[in-house]
Every structure is written in C-alpha cells, then in structure tokens.
Structure 1
Amino acid sequence: MIDNILDFLLDFGPWGLFIHSFADAIIFPIPAFFLQVPLSLMNPSSAIQLATVGYIACLLGTPFGYLIGKLLGKAVLYKMLKKQWIDSATTMFQKNGEAAILIGSFTPIPFKVFTILSGCLNFPLWRLLIYAAIGRAVKFYVIGILFYSFGRSAESMVKDVTLYIFLIGVPILLLGLFIKRKISKKKKSKDAVEANASISSQEDHAG
C-alpha cells in the first residue's frame, strides 16, 4: 500500500513531494527522502527546487504534528510507528530536546516522531520550528545539491553522503549545543551573584 501511495505521489512531481513532506511531519510513516530521491533522479536540473518544495512543506506541517501531540499524547505514535523509534526518540528528548530535533532531522526515524513528541512533552513550538528549520534544511538541500551538481550519478552517493553528514555534523551540533548551555549557565550564575550582591547592598543601607 505504501508503494502504491509513493507511486501515486510520484506522478504529481513537485506537488507530490509537497504533500509527502507535509504529511511526513504529521502522519505519513515513510520519510520524504524516498520521494525526493526518485524525483531528483528523473530531473536533476530541478533538484534544488524540489529540495525547497520539500523543505517548506515540512516546516508548514511541523505545527500540525505538534498540535497532534499536544491534543492526543504519545499514544497516537504507538499506533502509527515502530515502538523502538518512539522509545529512542523519547530518550533523546528527555536528555536534550534541542539535540533530539537536530539529530532526528538526520536519522531514519520519521520526523513526525519529533514533532508529535514536542507537543506531548510541551517543548516550546518556536524552538521546535527553529531547530527543525536548521536540521531539515541540511537533509533536503544536501540531496538537492548532490543531484544538481552530479546528475543521475548522485544516486549512488546519497546514502554515503548523508551518513557522513550524520557522523560529522551531529557531533558538531552537539558540541555547539554543549557550549551554548555552558555559556547560558555561566551567565545565569553571574546574574545570580550580581542579584545577591545587590540585595546585600540594599540590606546594608537599610541597616
């Protein structure tokens, strides 16, 4: 049935990818990657436009996935997807929601898991959109640039390149988030010290 749906969407070209990418953030169990690649293979000169279509549709669908999680909870995920995907994504979210979204943009886990989980766990929607925009841009545009640059021969490169991006890009992203968290903690600690000093000074004057 899934193959039939993909074949049906393939006939609609960019609009099919738009529908697929939009649904990928909400309900469809197969990542948009599986439609973007064959469409890019058919017409490599339009690969970047296809990447843009898929990217925009995914971001438009993200708030709807978030709303499903907010209203229906995690139970809806277990009805649609593999339990190990959901458990793995939940563990990632509990450790660091921002990192989970960024990493989830590169993994085979369907992106809807992260949009719905964001709603379930009350992760701020604006943060979800920011990190989804970063991660999904890489996912869509790497494929688009490969096909645009190398034509049909890019088909054999896609899996290797996306793997390398995951192995190299994810540690860099995690390092960036770690540094950001350290700076934020240091700033909060400094602000707390200054606030305590101000209170002590006021008490001394009052005394």
Structure 2
Amino acid sequence: MLENMINYVLNYGVWGLVIHSFADAVIFPVPALFTQVSLSLLDPSNALWLATAGFIACLLGTPLGYWIGKGLGHSVMNRMLKKSWVDAASGLIQRNGEAAILIGSFTPIPFKVFTILSGCLNFPLWRLMAYAAIGRAAKFYIVGSLFYIYGRSAEGMVKDVSLYLLAGIVPIVLIIIFIRKRKKRKAEQAASAQDGQQEQLGQEMGS
C-alpha cells in the first residue's frame, strides 16, 4: 500500500515531493527521501530545485505535527509506535532536545516522530523550527547536490548519506551543545555564588 502511495505522488513530480515532505512532518510513515531520490533520478539537473521544494514543504508541515502532538499527546504516538520507542525518544528530547531533533533530521526515521513528540513534551516551537531547518536543509541539499553533481550515479551514494551525516556532522553539533550547556552551568553557578555572597553580606550588616 505504501509503495502504491509513493508511486502515486511520483506522478505529480515536484508537487508530489511537496505533498510527501509536508506529510512526512505530520503523519506519513515513509521518509520523503524516497520520493526525492526517485524524482532526482529522473532529472538530476532538477535535483537542487527538488531539494528546495522538499525542504520548504517539510518546514511548513513541522508546526502542524507539533500542534497535533500538543493537542492529542501521547495517545497518538502510542497508537503509531511501540511504547518503548516513544519512551526512549521522549527521554532523549527531555534531556537533549536540540540533539534529538538534529539527529532525527538526519536519520531515515520519519520526521513526524520528532515533531509530534516535541508538541507532546512542550518543547519550544521556535527551537524545533530552528533545529529542524538546520537538519532538514542538510539532508535535502546534500542529496540534491550529489545528484546535481554526479547525475544518476549518485543513487548509490545517497544510500549511506544518513550514516555520513550522523558520523560527520552530529558529533560536531553535540560538542557545540555540550560546550554551550557547560557555559550556562558555570554562569548559573557564578550567579548563585554571587547571590550567596550578597546574602551573607546582608546578614553581617544586619548583625
């Protein structure tokens, strides 16, 4: 059935990719990468335009997936996925929301899992949009660029594009997030120490 649905949207060319990418962020269980690759194979010279259309459609669908999660909560996720998956992804977003969204943008996992979960867990929408834009742009445009440069021979390369992204980009992102959190923790400790000193000074002056 899913194969028939993908073949159906392929008949509409770039608009089929727009529909698939939008649905990928909301409810469709198959990543839009499959439609992007199929259309890029038909016309590699059009690959960057396809990447742009898919990227914009995905971003437009992201808020809808978010509000579905916010409105319907875990009842939706538990019907669509195993409870263990939902619990694991929920824990990851609660601990490191930015990293979870970025990693989810690169992996073959349907992006709706992360948009809906972000809504369930009240993750800030603007942060979801910002990190989704980074991750999805990388995914769409790397695939599009490969087809634009190498033509149909890029088909074999894109099979491992998610692995390359995870191995190359995600560690850098995680390091940046770690450094940022460490600086934030130090700032909070410094502020707490300053408050303690002021409180002690006030007590000494009062006595």
Deviations 1:171-201 (CA, angstroms, capped at 9, x unpaired): 2211111111101111121222233334444
The equivalent residue for 2:184 is: 184
**Structure 1 CA distance for aligned equivalents of residues 86 and 107 of structure 2:** 13
Query: 2:158 — aligned with what?
Result: 158
Secondary structure at the residue paired with 1:78?
helix
RMSD: 1.8
- 2:173 is matched with 173
Instruction: Letter of the 2:118 partner, please give it.
Output: S
- TM-score, normalisation: structure 1: 0.92
What do residues 74-99 of structure 1 show as CA deviations (whole Å, max 9, x unaligned)? Answer: 12123234555434422322331111
Instruction: Name the residue aligned to 2:6.
Output: 6
Partner secondary structure for residue 157 of structure 1? helix
On the 8 A contact 2:107/2:162 being kept in 1, the answer is: no
**Comparing 143-152 with 79-88, which one deviates more in the overlay?**
79-88
- The range that moved more, 154-163 or 80-89, is 80-89
Conserved 8 A contact 1:85-1:109: no
- Partners in 1 of 2:185 and 2:166 — Cα distance? 28
2:31 is the alignment partner of 1:31: yes
Aligned match of 1:41 = 41
Is contact 2:108–2:162 with CA below 8 Å preserved after alignment? no
The question of 1:197 aligning with 2:194 is answered no
| Aligned residue number for residue 123 of structure 2 | 123
Where does structure 1 lack aligned partners over 5 or more consecutive residues? none
Work out the CA distance in 1 between the residues paired with 2:58 and 2:174: 23
Contact 1:29-1:80 at 8 Å conserved across structures: no
Matched length: 207
Pair 1:91-2:91 in alignment: yes
TM superposition shift of 1:168: 2.1
**Is the Cα contact below 8 Å between 2:17 and 2:53 reproduced in 1?**
yes
Identical positions, percent? 59
Unaligned 5+ residue runs, structure 2?
none
